[in-house]
């Protein structure tokens, strides 16, 4: 009985803090570390009004490096299911909109050596059951033609 009560209290505390839903299509990656090759075939779809190419991503990575090396600001640490247990860096690169006009933030995910791993969007949502506001995170998709190589986790 104590366990059920504790679980219920923990669940209520979690729900009241924020509603958050994560999406990560790891089936596409067969649950292995894969590194997108940033070449002419690379293209990233983040469900908004534009797609992102090699040059755009490299520009965002350079901005992220500058921000992280600044004495006043640091990049946030992020944990991503696709790279389980590895502390990564996340950088808010741009703002965009879905076709319905809903605004979202584009973030890029990098390892500690600033290697680009994936794109992710974040946008505000309201839980239909509780009415609580929160944030949804969704991983961007790579266009067909994007190539991958095996990723070795840095030590």
Mean pLDDT, consecutive 10-residue stretches, the chain (155 aa), reads 42 35 47 84 93 97 95 88 87 94 95 94 93 92 91 73
Q: What sign for the dihedral angle of Cα 100, 105, 109, 113?
A: positive
At residue 155, the pLDDT reads 62
- The answer to whether residue 76 is domain-embedded is yes
C-alpha 48: how far from chain center: 15
Which residues, in sequence order, are CB contacts of 99 under 8 Å at separation 6+?
A: 49
- What is the C-alpha to C-alpha distance for residues 9 and 68, in angstroms, rounded to an integer? 38
Number of independent structural domains in the chain: 1
Give a yes or no: residue 3 inside a domain.
no
Which of 142, 145, 152, 119 has the alpha carbon at shortest distance from 29?
142
Residues 6 or more apart from 82 whose CB is under 8 A from it?
A: 24, 26, 29, 33, 117, 118, 139
Structural domain includes residue 127: yes
Structural domain for 105, as ranges: 19-150
Is 9 a member of any domain? no
Residue 4 inside a domain? The answer is: no
43-45: strand order across its sheet: 51-53, 43-45, 141-142
Token couple for 145: 């033609």
Which residue has tokens 């808010």?
Answer: 92
What is the per-residue pLDDT for 82? 80
- Model pTM score: 0.77
| Close Cβ partners of 129 (under 8 Å, ≥ 6 residues apart) | none
The pLDDT value given to residue 4? 44
Q: How many Å apart are CA 32 and CA 80, to the nearest integer?
A: 12
């Amino acid at each position: 009985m104590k366990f059920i009560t504790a679980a219920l209290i923990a669940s209520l505390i979690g729900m009241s803090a924020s509603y958050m839903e994560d999406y990560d299509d790891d089936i596409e990656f067969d649950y292995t570390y894969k590194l997108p090759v940033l070449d002419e075939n690379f293209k990233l779809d983040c469900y908004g009004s534009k797609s992102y190419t090699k040059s755009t991503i490299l520009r965002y990575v350079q901005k992220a490096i500058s921000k992280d090396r600044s004495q006043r600001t640091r990049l946030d640490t992020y944990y991503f299911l696709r790279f389980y247990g590895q502390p990564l860096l996340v950088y808010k690169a741009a703002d965009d909109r879905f076709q319905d006009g809903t605004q979202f933030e584009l973030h890029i995910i990098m390892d500690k050596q600033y290697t680009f791993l994936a794109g992710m969007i974040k946008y505000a949502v309201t839980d239909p059951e509780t009415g609580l506001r929160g944030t949804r995170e969704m991983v961007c998709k790579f266009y067909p033609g994007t190539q991958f190589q095996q990723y070795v986790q840095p030590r």
